[in-house]
Structure 1
Amino acid sequence: MTETKTKKQANTLLQSALQSQAHQDSLGAAQDYRHVLELDPKNKQAWYGLGLIEQQNGRTADARAAYEKALETDPKFMSALYSEAFLLRSSDPDRAIELLKRAVAADPKSTTIQLQLGNLLAGQHRKGEAEDVFRHAVAVDHRILPQVPEEFRVSVSR
Protein backbone atom coordinates (compact mmCIF):
# COMPACT_ATOMS: atom_id res chain seq x y z
CA MET A 1 0.00 0.00 0.00
CA THR A 2 1.32 3.45 -0.81
CA GLU A 3 2.20 5.84 1.98
CA THR A 4 -0.49 8.32 0.84
CA LYS A 5 -3.15 5.60 0.77
CA THR A 6 -2.09 4.33 4.20
CA LYS A 7 -2.21 7.85 5.63
CA LYS A 8 -5.65 8.43 4.12
CA GLN A 9 -6.94 5.13 5.52
CA ALA A 10 -5.52 5.98 8.96
CA ASN A 11 -7.22 9.40 8.87
CA THR A 12 -10.54 7.83 7.87
CA LEU A 13 -10.26 5.34 10.74
CA LEU A 14 -9.31 8.13 13.14
CA GLN A 15 -12.43 10.10 12.17
CA SER A 16 -14.51 6.94 12.66
CA ALA A 17 -12.96 6.42 16.10
CA LEU A 18 -13.71 10.01 17.10
CA GLN A 19 -17.32 9.62 15.94
CA SER A 20 -17.70 6.36 17.84
CA GLN A 21 -16.27 7.96 20.96
CA ALA A 22 -18.61 10.93 20.60
CA HIS A 23 -21.53 8.48 20.47
CA GLN A 24 -20.35 6.66 23.63
CA ASP A 25 -19.20 3.60 21.65
CA SER A 26 -15.87 3.13 23.39
CA LEU A 27 -15.49 -0.45 22.16
CA GLY A 28 -15.84 0.61 18.51
CA ALA A 29 -13.62 3.64 19.06
CA ALA A 30 -10.88 1.55 20.70
CA GLN A 31 -11.00 -0.92 17.84
CA ASP A 32 -10.64 1.90 15.28
CA TYR A 33 -7.82 3.53 17.27
CA ARG A 34 -5.94 0.23 17.32
CA HIS A 35 -6.37 -0.08 13.56
CA VAL A 36 -5.04 3.45 13.13
CA LEU A 37 -2.00 2.49 15.18
CA GLU A 38 -1.38 -0.58 13.03
CA LEU A 39 -1.18 1.77 10.04
CA ASP A 40 0.51 4.66 11.81
CA PRO A 41 2.20 3.62 15.09
CA LYS A 42 3.14 7.23 15.89
CA ASN A 43 -0.36 8.69 15.62
CA LYS A 44 -0.59 10.79 18.77
CA GLN A 45 -4.34 11.34 18.42
CA ALA A 46 -4.99 7.59 18.33
CA TRP A 47 -2.74 6.97 21.34
CA TYR A 48 -4.46 9.80 23.19
CA GLY A 49 -7.96 8.55 22.33
CA LEU A 50 -7.03 5.06 23.45
CA GLY A 51 -5.68 6.54 26.68
CA LEU A 52 -8.97 8.32 27.36
CA ILE A 53 -10.94 5.11 26.82
CA GLU A 54 -8.62 3.13 29.08
CA GLN A 55 -8.88 5.82 31.76
CA GLN A 56 -12.69 5.86 31.53
CA ASN A 57 -12.70 2.10 31.97
CA GLY A 58 -10.49 2.26 35.06
CA ARG A 59 -7.42 0.77 33.40
CA THR A 60 -5.03 3.44 34.60
CA ALA A 61 -1.80 1.60 33.76
CA ASP A 62 -2.96 1.12 30.17
CA ALA A 63 -4.15 4.73 30.00
CA ARG A 64 -0.81 5.98 31.25
CA ALA A 65 1.06 3.82 28.73
CA ALA A 66 -1.08 5.20 25.90
CA TYR A 67 -0.53 8.82 27.03
CA GLU A 68 3.21 8.15 27.22
CA LYS A 69 3.16 6.81 23.63
CA ALA A 70 1.41 10.00 22.51
CA LEU A 71 4.05 12.07 24.33
CA GLU A 72 6.88 10.08 22.74
CA THR A 73 5.52 11.24 19.38
CA ASP A 74 4.93 14.83 20.53
CA PRO A 75 6.44 15.82 23.90
CA LYS A 76 4.37 19.04 23.92
CA PHE A 77 1.02 17.40 23.13
CA MET A 78 -1.10 19.40 25.54
CA SER A 79 -4.05 17.00 25.80
CA ALA A 80 -1.83 14.05 26.71
CA LEU A 81 0.24 16.10 29.16
CA TYR A 82 -2.88 17.32 30.94
CA SER A 83 -4.74 14.00 30.90
CA GLU A 84 -1.80 12.01 32.22
CA ALA A 85 -1.19 14.63 34.93
CA PHE A 86 -4.87 14.45 35.91
CA LEU A 87 -4.63 10.66 36.04
CA LEU A 88 -1.55 10.76 38.28
CA ARG A 89 -2.39 13.68 40.57
CA SER A 90 -3.14 11.38 43.53
CA SER A 91 -0.96 8.34 42.88
CA ASP A 92 2.18 10.09 41.58
CA PRO A 93 1.91 13.82 42.29
CA ASP A 94 5.58 14.49 41.47
CA ARG A 95 5.14 13.08 37.96
CA ALA A 96 1.85 15.00 37.61
CA ILE A 97 3.66 18.22 38.58
CA GLU A 98 6.39 17.50 36.03
CA LEU A 99 3.79 16.96 33.29
CA LEU A 100 1.89 20.14 34.20
CA LYS A 101 5.13 22.12 34.20
CA ARG A 102 5.80 20.83 30.68
CA ALA A 103 2.27 21.85 29.69
CA VAL A 104 2.77 25.36 31.11
CA ALA A 105 6.08 25.63 29.26
CA ALA A 106 4.32 24.62 26.04
CA ASP A 107 1.50 27.12 26.61
CA PRO A 108 2.47 29.82 29.14
CA LYS A 109 -0.87 31.60 28.72
CA SER A 110 -2.99 28.63 29.80
CA THR A 111 -4.27 29.78 33.16
CA THR A 112 -6.36 26.62 33.62
CA ILE A 113 -3.25 24.47 33.60
CA GLN A 114 -1.42 26.93 35.84
CA LEU A 115 -4.25 26.81 38.37
CA GLN A 116 -4.12 23.00 38.36
CA LEU A 117 -0.34 23.09 38.79
CA GLY A 118 -0.54 25.65 41.59
CA ASN A 119 -3.17 23.64 43.44
CA LEU A 120 -1.15 20.45 43.11
CA LEU A 121 2.00 22.19 44.34
CA ALA A 122 0.10 23.68 47.29
CA GLY A 123 -1.29 20.24 48.11
CA GLN A 124 2.29 18.91 48.18
CA HIS A 125 3.28 21.67 50.63
CA ARG A 126 5.38 23.42 48.00
CA LYS A 127 3.87 26.81 48.84
CA GLY A 128 6.62 28.98 47.35
CA GLU A 129 6.39 27.26 43.98
CA ALA A 130 2.59 27.34 44.12
CA GLU A 131 2.64 31.08 44.83
CA ASP A 132 4.93 31.69 41.84
CA VAL A 133 2.63 29.70 39.55
CA PHE A 134 -0.49 31.48 40.84
CA ARG A 135 1.24 34.85 40.47
CA HIS A 136 2.10 34.09 36.84
CA ALA A 137 -1.45 32.90 36.12
CA VAL A 138 -2.96 36.07 37.59
CA ALA A 139 -0.48 38.16 35.59
CA VAL A 140 -1.74 36.45 32.42
CA ASP A 141 -5.41 36.97 33.33
CA HIS A 142 -6.35 38.94 36.44
CA ARG A 143 -9.95 37.68 36.20
CA ILE A 144 -8.90 34.28 37.56
CA LEU A 145 -7.90 35.71 40.95
CA PRO A 146 -11.11 34.41 42.59
CA GLN A 147 -10.09 30.87 41.53
CA VAL A 148 -6.75 31.12 43.33
CA PRO A 149 -6.91 29.57 46.82
CA GLU A 150 -7.64 32.21 49.42
CA GLU A 151 -4.32 31.78 51.24
CA PHE A 152 -2.48 32.94 48.09
CA ARG A 153 -4.78 35.69 46.81
CA VAL A 154 -3.25 38.66 48.58
CA SER A 155 0.33 37.77 47.78
CA VAL A 156 -0.29 37.02 44.09
CA SER A 157 -2.47 40.04 43.38
CA ARG A 158 0.29 42.58 44.10
Structure 2
Amino acid sequence: MNEAVQSALRLQTRQDFLGAAEVYHRVLEADPKNKQAWYGIGLIDQGYGRTAEARKDFDKALEADPRFTSALYSESFMLRSSDPDRAIELLGRAATIQPKAASVQLQLGQLLAEQNRDDEAERAFRRAVAADDRLLPQVPEDFRDAVRP
Protein backbone atom coordinates (compact mmCIF):
# COMPACT_ATOMS: atom_id res chain seq x y z
CA MET A 1 0.00 0.00 0.00
CA ASN A 2 1.49 3.33 -0.96
CA GLU A 3 2.19 6.18 1.41
CA ALA A 4 -0.65 8.41 0.16
CA VAL A 5 -3.23 5.67 0.75
CA GLN A 6 -1.83 5.12 4.25
CA SER A 7 -2.16 8.86 4.87
CA ALA A 8 -5.77 8.78 3.71
CA LEU A 9 -6.47 5.80 5.98
CA ARG A 10 -5.06 7.73 8.95
CA LEU A 11 -7.30 10.68 8.10
CA GLN A 12 -10.28 8.36 7.76
CA THR A 13 -9.50 6.78 11.14
CA ARG A 14 -9.51 10.28 12.67
CA GLN A 15 -12.89 10.84 10.96
CA ASP A 16 -11.49 13.51 8.65
CA PHE A 17 -13.50 12.14 5.75
CA LEU A 18 -13.16 15.19 3.51
CA GLY A 19 -9.38 15.18 3.92
CA ALA A 20 -9.24 11.43 3.27
CA ALA A 21 -11.41 11.79 0.15
CA GLU A 22 -9.11 14.51 -1.19
CA VAL A 23 -6.09 12.25 -0.77
CA TYR A 24 -7.88 9.28 -2.33
CA HIS A 25 -8.85 11.42 -5.34
CA ARG A 26 -5.24 12.52 -5.78
CA VAL A 27 -4.17 8.87 -5.65
CA LEU A 28 -6.74 8.03 -8.33
CA GLU A 29 -5.52 10.85 -10.57
CA ALA A 30 -2.11 9.19 -10.57
CA ASP A 31 -3.40 5.60 -10.51
CA PRO A 32 -7.02 5.23 -11.68
CA LYS A 33 -7.00 1.52 -10.83
CA ASN A 34 -5.93 1.85 -7.21
CA LYS A 35 -8.30 -0.55 -5.44
CA GLN A 36 -7.53 0.80 -1.97
CA ALA A 37 -8.42 4.36 -2.99
CA TRP A 38 -11.67 3.28 -4.65
CA TYR A 39 -12.52 1.20 -1.59
CA GLY A 40 -11.75 4.08 0.79
CA ILE A 41 -13.95 6.46 -1.19
CA GLY A 42 -16.65 3.79 -1.21
CA LEU A 43 -16.57 3.57 2.58
CA ILE A 44 -16.80 7.35 2.84
CA ASP A 45 -19.71 7.48 0.39
CA GLN A 46 -21.41 4.66 2.26
CA GLY A 47 -20.94 6.50 5.55
CA TYR A 48 -22.65 9.56 4.10
CA GLY A 49 -25.55 7.47 2.81
CA ARG A 50 -24.56 7.81 -0.83
CA THR A 51 -25.21 4.16 -1.57
CA ALA A 52 -25.33 4.39 -5.37
CA GLU A 53 -21.95 6.14 -5.41
CA ALA A 54 -20.52 3.69 -2.88
CA ARG A 55 -21.59 0.75 -5.04
CA LYS A 56 -19.87 2.32 -8.05
CA ASP A 57 -16.74 2.88 -5.97
CA PHE A 58 -16.71 -0.72 -4.73
CA ASP A 59 -17.31 -1.91 -8.31
CA LYS A 60 -14.28 0.13 -9.44
CA ALA A 61 -12.20 -1.49 -6.70
CA LEU A 62 -13.41 -4.89 -7.90
CA GLU A 63 -12.59 -4.02 -11.51
CA ALA A 64 -9.04 -3.38 -10.36
CA ASP A 65 -8.96 -6.61 -8.33
CA PRO A 66 -11.90 -9.04 -8.60
CA ARG A 67 -10.54 -10.92 -5.57
CA PHE A 68 -10.55 -7.87 -3.26
CA THR A 69 -12.53 -9.41 -0.41
CA SER A 70 -13.04 -6.17 1.53
CA ALA A 71 -14.90 -4.66 -1.42
CA LEU A 72 -16.87 -7.88 -1.98
CA TYR A 73 -17.91 -7.93 1.66
CA SER A 74 -18.76 -4.23 1.88
CA GLU A 75 -20.82 -4.18 -1.28
CA SER A 76 -22.66 -7.35 -0.25
CA PHE A 77 -23.51 -5.76 3.09
CA MET A 78 -25.04 -2.78 1.28
CA LEU A 79 -27.13 -5.03 -0.97
CA ARG A 80 -28.35 -7.35 1.75
CA SER A 81 -31.94 -6.06 1.74
CA SER A 82 -32.28 -4.50 -1.72
CA ASP A 83 -30.66 -7.26 -3.81
CA PRO A 84 -30.07 -10.36 -1.67
CA ASP A 85 -29.20 -12.57 -4.66
CA ARG A 86 -26.38 -10.22 -5.67
CA ALA A 87 -25.27 -9.98 -2.03
CA ILE A 88 -25.13 -13.79 -1.83
CA GLU A 89 -23.12 -13.93 -5.05
CA LEU A 90 -20.59 -11.38 -3.75
CA LEU A 91 -20.28 -13.08 -0.35
CA GLY A 92 -19.95 -16.43 -2.09
CA ARG A 93 -17.02 -15.07 -4.08
CA ALA A 94 -15.42 -13.73 -0.88
CA ALA A 95 -15.98 -17.09 0.84
CA THR A 96 -14.34 -18.92 -2.06
CA ILE A 97 -11.33 -16.62 -1.91
CA GLN A 98 -11.03 -16.84 1.89
CA PRO A 99 -12.73 -20.09 2.92
CA LYS A 100 -11.53 -19.78 6.52
CA ALA A 101 -12.91 -16.25 6.99
CA ALA A 102 -15.46 -17.16 9.62
CA SER A 103 -17.34 -13.85 9.56
CA VAL A 104 -17.82 -14.07 5.79
CA GLN A 105 -19.15 -17.62 6.11
CA LEU A 106 -21.48 -16.57 8.94
CA GLN A 107 -22.87 -13.64 6.94
CA LEU A 108 -23.29 -15.86 3.90
CA GLY A 109 -25.16 -18.43 5.98
CA GLN A 110 -27.47 -15.78 7.39
CA LEU A 111 -28.30 -14.43 3.95
CA LEU A 112 -28.90 -17.90 2.58
CA ALA A 113 -31.14 -18.76 5.54
CA GLU A 114 -33.15 -15.57 4.98
CA GLN A 115 -33.70 -16.73 1.39
CA ASN A 116 -34.82 -20.20 2.61
CA ARG A 117 -31.79 -21.85 1.02
CA ASP A 118 -31.33 -23.99 4.11
CA ASP A 119 -28.94 -26.64 2.76
CA GLU A 120 -26.52 -23.98 1.51
CA ALA A 121 -26.97 -21.98 4.72
CA GLU A 122 -26.14 -25.01 6.83
CA ARG A 123 -22.92 -25.60 4.86
CA ALA A 124 -21.90 -21.95 5.31
CA PHE A 125 -22.68 -22.04 9.04
CA ARG A 126 -20.73 -25.28 9.37
CA ARG A 127 -17.69 -23.65 7.71
CA ALA A 128 -18.05 -20.57 9.94
CA VAL A 129 -18.13 -22.60 13.15
CA ALA A 130 -15.31 -24.86 11.95
CA ALA A 131 -13.18 -21.75 11.42
CA ASP A 132 -14.20 -20.17 14.75
CA ASP A 133 -16.37 -22.12 17.17
CA ARG A 134 -17.04 -18.95 19.18
CA LEU A 135 -19.51 -18.02 16.43
CA LEU A 136 -21.88 -20.87 17.32
CA PRO A 137 -24.16 -18.62 19.46
CA GLN A 138 -24.60 -16.34 16.42
CA VAL A 139 -25.84 -19.20 14.25
CA PRO A 140 -29.65 -19.21 14.11
CA GLU A 141 -31.11 -21.74 16.53
CA ASP A 142 -32.65 -23.83 13.74
CA PHE A 143 -29.13 -24.62 12.46
CA ARG A 144 -27.13 -24.95 15.68
CA ASP A 145 -27.47 -28.69 16.25
CA ALA A 146 -26.44 -29.41 12.68
CA VAL A 147 -23.30 -27.28 12.86
CA ARG A 148 -21.98 -27.98 16.35
CA PRO A 149 -18.27 -28.80 16.30
Query: What TM-score comes out, normalization by structure 1 length?
Result: 0.88
Deviations 1:106-141 (A, max 9, x none): 111011110000001111111111111112222333
Aligned to 1:150: 141
- CA distance in structure 2 between the aligned counterparts of 1:140 and 1:29, rounded to whole angstroms: 34
Aligned to 1:127: 118
Aligned to 1:102: 93
Give the CA RMSD over aligned residues: 1.5
- CA distance in structure 2 between the aligned counterparts of 1:142 and 1:17, rounded to whole angstroms: 35
Alignment coverage as a number of residue pairs:
149
Aligned to 2:25: 34
Matches within 5 A, 1:52-131: 52-131=43-122
Secondary structure of the structure 1 residue equivalent to 2:10: helix
- CA distance in structure 1 between the aligned counterparts of 2:139 and 2:21, rounded to whole angstroms: 37
- CA distance in structure 1 between the aligned counterparts of 2:117 and 2:104, rounded to whole angstroms: 17
Aligned to 1:3: none
Secondary structure of the structure 1 residue equivalent to 2:63: helix
Identity over the aligned pairs, expressed in percent?
Answer: 64
Identify unmatched segments of 5+ residues in structure 2. none
Aligned to 1:5: none
Query: What TM-score comes out, normalization by structure 2 length?
Result: 0.93
Please identify, of 13-22 and 101-110, the stretch whose mean Cα deviation from structure 2 is larger.
Answer: 13-22
Identify unmatched segments of 5+ residues in structure 1. 1-9
